[in-house]
Amino acid sequence: MTVSRSWLKFALIWVVGVLALAFIPALALVAGLPFVNRLEPVVLGLPFLLFWILAWVVATPGFLAAAYLLADPTPGRSESGAAR
Amino acid sequence: MTTSLVVILVFILASAVVGVIGRGRGEMNLERWTVGGRRFGVLLVWLLMAGEIYTTFTFLGASGWAYSRGAPAFYILAYGTIGYIISFFLLPPVWRMAKRLGLHTQPDFFLARYASPTLASLVAVVGVVSIVPYLQLQLAGLGMIVEIASGGAVSSTFAIVLAFVLTCVFVYTSGLKGIAWVAIVKDISMVVAIVVIGIGLPSMYFGSVGGMLAELVRRHPTHLTFPGGTTTMDVGWVVSTILLTGMGFYCWPHSFAATFSARDDRTIRRNAVIMPLYQLPILLVFFVGFTALLVLPGLKQPDTALLTLVARSYPGWFAGFVGGAGAVTAMVPASMLLLVASTLVAKNIYRPLRRGEVGDAELMRASRAFMLVIAVVALVLALWSPNELVKLLIFGYDGIAQFFPGIALGVFVRRTTARPVIMGLVAGEAVVVSLIWSGHDPFLGLNAGFVGLAVNAAIALGAMAITGSPAAPEGGNEF
């Protein structure tokens, strides 16, 4: 019983971790927008609002790749498993 | 302008040839025709998924929105990313179920999960009603692209008929595999065209992209923050639209079914990881729209901004290249829509109505026959009543996004049954239709589709809470 309970705890931490990683960019692109609706500062020639959206779109593959590795660390395996 | 004419025609013909050859060898059956035998790896799945993002709307709509509305157009850059994040969790279980039970269409999924023919038919009907105007829009856009890019040398009607007949030929013969091959031609040429004009046009007129943006902010100080050039599309509209279209992204029957072609569930998840990068060319399309606003102010049809500027700024052969790329960008989504709509009608509307046994071979013949029927309907609508369906089209995204609660609850909440999902779906569609047709979109500053989705989810969850915990139907054990 102790073994299965600690395994459950591990699984829970792991699912929460994967979800958190993937939802950081989603939060930035949705809930973040009311706070960045302005032109200044101009970054890389882009007004701040456009820069913010662009930066999070570019960063998302990094977050999702981390979630992918966390959810599915064994190479060469197919079907079943992974986060849900 | 004959150079551009020749380039465009060669482009369209070559794409169709690639599509027919892409069929490969062996006998064609429903499994190969609709889901490519479920053997596609990361590259082909990527190309098919990209069919949804890069449609004629990318060329015409995104630049037109940037031209006329400004910052609200930025939602187009953001919503796909939300869609991919959701798909990272949602699609692998859907794929596993599709693989195990041999599903071909979106209503197949609803039927297998909820064991409710009523729900499956409802999903099939809403799907087809949303697809036909979307298909018609691709054709109308194709005509506009070719006509402007060729400087009027090719008439819109001729371009639509030629490109669409060829599209029908390769969908008929090759199915999904042929579409994937044409998608390769489309994606390469389209990205090249967008990168060249997205950086080239601002540089040509203002020295650099930064120079163009600085000039835009100087002349139109409010264009690049919400609500931009509009009065109704403020932050609330943008946030609710990103949420709605992000959740609706994979609810389109063709996008949903395209995932079935993947070789395994890891392919789908890897795709979700890399796809956001493919949104970046949209930024360059915005730059073209902004440049057009400064160089060609006061256009009556903002959707023509990109092509008018291209035709004015580049030699004929390059305008022809952009026009050809634009034409293929319409052909690929059109072919996906055609394939999926015909399978939907044959398998989920025609077969249940027949009641008797309908074998796979007959289903394949029926799908091809319905494909020709739907093609003729879309062609007639595109040529003779281009404006009649505008309201249906606005309804498109808002309508299919209402599938989201049924898909997400079906995948993640085992005890979900058909009735709450049906109640939510019907209520959501009713809210969307009444808000749009009574002219209340945006509603209280929010996207009407989002309002419908909120009502939909609230009713589905409320009904689930009231009905308690009935025994899960057989399909509920699939996850």
Is the Cβ–Cβ distance between B209 and B287 less than 8 Å? Answer: yes
CA distance B274 to A62: 9
Specify the pLDDT at position B1.
Answer: 53
Angle between helices B156-206 and B305-313 (to 10 degrees): 70
CA distance A67 to A73: 10
Confidence check: pLDDT of B477 > 50? no
Specify the pLDDT at position B358.
Answer: 76
Confidence check: pLDDT of B357 > 80? no
Q: What mean pLDDT is predicted for residues B96-121?
A: 92
Closest Cβ opposite residue B235 in set A33, A80, A84: A33
Q: What percentage of chain B exceeds 90 in pLDDT?
A: 33
Q: Report H helices in B275-389.
A: 281-295, 305-313, 316-344, 351-354, 360-384
CA distance B327 to B312: 19
* CB atoms closer than 10 angstroms to residue A15: 14
* CB atoms closer than 10 angstroms to residue B458: 14
Confidence of residue A82 (pLDDT cuts 50, 70, 90): very low
Confidence of residue B386 (pLDDT cuts 50, 70, 90): low
Q: What mean pLDDT is predicted for residues B235-261?
A: 89
Confidence check: pLDDT of B472 > 50? no
B380 touches chain A (CB under 8 A): no
What's the half-sphere exposure (Cβ side, CA atoms, 13 Å) at B213?
24
Q: What mean pLDDT is predicted for residues B383-401?
A: 71
Specify the pLDDT at position B46.
Answer: 73
- Per the listing, tokens 């034409």 go with B327
Q: What mean pLDDT is predicted for residues B381-402?
A: 73
Cα–Cα nearest to B199, from B124, B291, B118, B112: B291
CA distance B19 to B169: 9
Confidence check: pLDDT of B172 > 70? yes
User: pLDDT per residue over B157-168, tens digit each?
Assistant: 888 888 888 888
Angle between helices B448-467 and B404-412 (to 10 degrees): 40
Do the Cβ atoms of A68 and B77 come within 8 Å? Answer: no
Look up residue B102 and give its DSSP letter: T
Q: Report H helices in A1-84.
A: 2-30, 48-71
Contacts of B264 in chain A (CB under 8 A): 78-79
Cα–Cα nearest to B312, from B436, B107, B121, B151: B151
Instruction: Give the chain B residue whose CA is nearest to the CA of A76.
Output: B266
Q: What mean pLDDT is predicted for residues B314-319?
A: 90
> What are the distances in angstroms from CA B129 to CA B29, B123, B136, B252, B396?
26, 10, 12, 12, 8
Count contacts between A and B (CB, < 8 Å). 118
More confident residue, B24 or B365: B365
DSSP, collapsed to helix, strand or coil, labels residue B284 as helix
B90 beta partners: none
CA distance B424 to B408: 13
CA distance A42 to A47: 5
Contacts of A29 in chain B (CB under 8 A): 78, 81-82, 242
> What are the distances in angstroms from CA B61 to CA B65, B325, B333, B366?
6, 16, 15, 35
* CB atoms closer than 10 angstroms to residue B157: 12
Confidence of residue B100 (pLDDT cuts 50, 70, 90): very high
Specify the pLDDT at position B404.
Answer: 94
* Least confidently predicted of B53-57, B304-308, B406-410, B442-446: B53-57
DSSP string computed for B36-76? GGG-B-HHHHHHHHHHHHSSHIIIIIIHHHHHHT-GGGGHH
Confidence check: pLDDT of B28 > 80? no
Is the Cβ–Cβ distance between B81 and B249 less than 8 Å? Answer: no
Residue A14 distance to chain B (closest CA, Å)? 14
Look up residue B298 and give its DSSP letter: T
Confidence of residue B48 (pLDDT cuts 50, 70, 90): confident
Confidence check: pLDDT of B469 > 70? no
Q: What mean pLDDT is predicted for residues B100-128?
A: 92
Q: What mean pLDDT is predicted for residues B146-157?
A: 84
Do the Cβ atoms of B78 and A38 come within 8 Å? Answer: no
Specify the pLDDT at position B474.
Answer: 46
Instruction: Give the chain A residue whose CA is nearest to the CA of B85.
Output: A22
* CB atoms closer than 10 angstroms to residue A84: 13
Is the Cβ–Cβ distance between B94 and B411 less than 8 Å? Answer: yes
B224 touches chain A (CB under 8 A): yes
Residue A67 distance to chain B (closest CA, Å)? 9
User: Which residues does B243 contact at the CB level (< 8 Å), separation at least 6?
Assistant: A30, B82, B450
Cα–Cα nearest to B472, from B426, B423, B418, B421: B418
Specify the pLDDT at position B443.
Answer: 85
Is the Cβ–Cβ distance between B280 and A57 less than 8 Å? Answer: yes
Look up residue B123 and give its amino acid. Answer: V
Specify the pLDDT at position B184.
Answer: 85
Confidence of residue B389 (pLDDT cuts 50, 70, 90): low
* CB atoms closer than 10 angstroms to residue B66: 32
Specify the pLDDT at position A84.
Answer: 36
Specify the pLDDT at position B180.
Answer: 85
Contacts of A25 in chain B (CB under 8 A): 81, 85
More confident residue, B100 or B384: B100
User: pLDDT per residue over B196-207, tens digit each?
Assistant: 999 999 999 999
Specify the pLDDT at position B384.
Answer: 79
Confidence check: pLDDT of B478 > 50? no
Look up residue B25 and give its amino acid. Answer: R
Angle between helices B117-149 and B316-344 (to 10 degrees): 160
CA distance B351 to B111: 13
* Least confidently predicted of A72-76, B16-20, B380-384: A72-76
Q: What mean pLDDT is predicted for residues B205-222?
A: 93
Specify the pLDDT at position A83.
Answer: 37
B89 touches chain A (CB under 8 A): yes
Do the Cβ atoms of A49 and B224 come within 8 Å? Answer: yes
Specify the pLDDT at position B458.
Answer: 94
Confidence check: pLDDT of B475 > 50? no
